[in-house]
Amino acid sequence: MRRLLGFLALVALLATGALWMISAPDPLPMGEFADDPGGDPARGQTVFTAAGCASCHHAPESEDKLVLAGGQRFPSDFGTFIAPNISSHPQQGIGAWSLHDFANALLRGVSPEGRHYYPAFPYTSYIRMEPQDVVDLWSFIRTLPASDTPSQPHEVGFPFSLRRGLGLWKQLYLDPAWIVPGAESDEMRRGRYLVEALAHCGECHTPRDAFGGLERDAWLAGAPAPDGKGRIPALTPDKLGWSAEDVAYYLETGFTPDYDSAGGHMVEVIANFAKLPPEDRAAVAAYVKALPDGGAMN
């Protein structure tokens, strides 16, 4: 009996140890993004717009959306996440970061201190970003004003408050592969890059499973709103009967084909898309029109 207990304790210890190792943050190799070659801030501004950074990180009710003071609240089934200060302030923001720190946050969801970020920060999409876009974005974001507003802690209860568990979550859901395989044309590839990487459309428009991971078999098939009120609409052709031109016009103006006007967080998304070149809106429209019915991926 004693021997059995001892054995079980050893198994439990090993299992715990294994889980602990699997759940460890997996940062980029030190060599990657080690030297900052100096990006192109003008290009970086386009990346910033397409990635929607300001939409979540500007202060609530602020008219100046380029002060990335944080503070907006994002309720979910797992608790309420509060966007942090990512302004250029050296203490309260990310002004003291290196390019390597920035790339680790965007592409791996790991903080400079080596902790996991919650995936309310869409690194599950940004992991598909091109390295040059990361460099350019970094060169732009550092030009934005500093704010000394402290970041607030997320309001997340046990067990989700154990960030280490996110390491296991990432094993399941952090995947750099494209969702839609085999984009044939430049336009389709650009549309896919915008939708699946920068604009992170799937984070709201794709349903999530019990653990909060995106259901890739229902890609962009619509989902309950994360705050529990209403639904985020489907973008797949079986549900959204808009022409490609309708989709592009909506992304430019916010007008649906019936001239209803977007509401909620989509307003911020449209404000971003409206600033991008028309070819980018057309590329997103082409991608959306080519989605399989129900978002069923094979």
Q: Which residues sit at the interface with another protein, rule CB under 8 A?
A: 61, 225, 229-233, 245, 249, 252-255, 258-268, 270-271
CB of 160 to another protein, least distance (A): 24
71 vs 254 by CB, closer to another protein: 254
CB of 205 to another protein, least distance (A): 11
CB of 245 to another protein, least distance (A): 8
- Is the Cβ–Cβ distance between 117 and 110 less than 8 Å? yes
Count of alpha carbons within 13 angstroms of residue 241, beta-carbon side: 1
CB of 84 to another protein, least distance (A): 21
- Is the Cβ–Cβ distance between 169 and 258 less than 8 Å? no
36 vs 245 by CB, closer to another protein: 245
Please provide the DSSP assignment of 185-251 as one string. SHHHHHHHIIIIIIS-THHHHS-B-TTS-B-GGGTTS-EE-TTSSSEEPP-STTT----HHHHHHHH
32 vs 246 by CB, closer to another protein: 246
CA-CA distance, 148 to 283, in Å (whole number)? 39
65 vs 216 by CB, closer to another protein: 65
174 vs 269 by CB, closer to another protein: 269
178 vs 242 by CB, closer to another protein: 242
CB of 261 to another protein, least distance (A): 4
What is the length of the chain? 298
CB of 186 to another protein, least distance (A): 25
Residue 41 tokens, joined: 């801030």
Q: State yes or no: cis peptide before 159, omega within 30 of 0.
A: yes
CA-CA distance, 273 to 62, in Å (whole number)? 20
Cα distances (Å, whole numbers) of residue 224 to 18, 155, 229: 35, 21, 8
- Is the Cβ–Cβ distance between 123 and 56 less than 8 Å? no
